Amino acid sequence: MKCIVIIYNAAIEDRINEALGGMIEKFTLFEKVLGKGKNSQPHMGNSVWPTTNKLIFSVLNNENDIDIIKERLKKVKDEYINEGLKLLVFPVEELI
């Protein structure tokens, strides 16, 4: 079991959803996530930096699905280099 966290510029949400193609059935979506990445402008949701991020949090059992998601999101990241997109994957020891 692994946890995935996908953080992305809200402006590319349609492309993210297209790339995921329904592979993540159970998730938590955080909207209006604020931050600054290495290659992107700040996303602060204010008058100076009006954009925001979104965050998808999910736990998956299938390693193969995680590999497919990684590949698909790498392609999106290559398309949108300056928009901000991160994928974090880490083990889940226990889920209650």
Instruction: Name residues whose C-beta falls within 8 Å of residue 33's C-beta, 6 or more positions apart in sequence.
Output: 7, 43, 52, 53, 54, 55
CATH number at residue 37: 3.30.70.120
Whether 38 has a pLDDT exceeding 90, the answer reads no
- Does any domain span residue 80? yes
Mean pLDDT of 70-83: 94
| pLDDT confidence of residue 91 | 97
Whether 76 maps to a domain, the answer reads yes
Contact 7, 15 (CB under 8 A): no
pTM for the model? 0.93
Considering the domain boundaries, does residue 96 fall inside one? no
Query: What is the model's pLDDT at position 39?
Result: 78
Q: Which residue range(s) make up the domain with 56?
A: 2-91
Question: What is the structure's pLDDT at 37?
Answer: 84
Q: What is the CA radius of gyration of the chain?
A: 14
Residue 12 lies in a domain: yes
Cβ-contact 41, 49 below 8 angstroms: yes
Please count the structural domains in the chain.
1
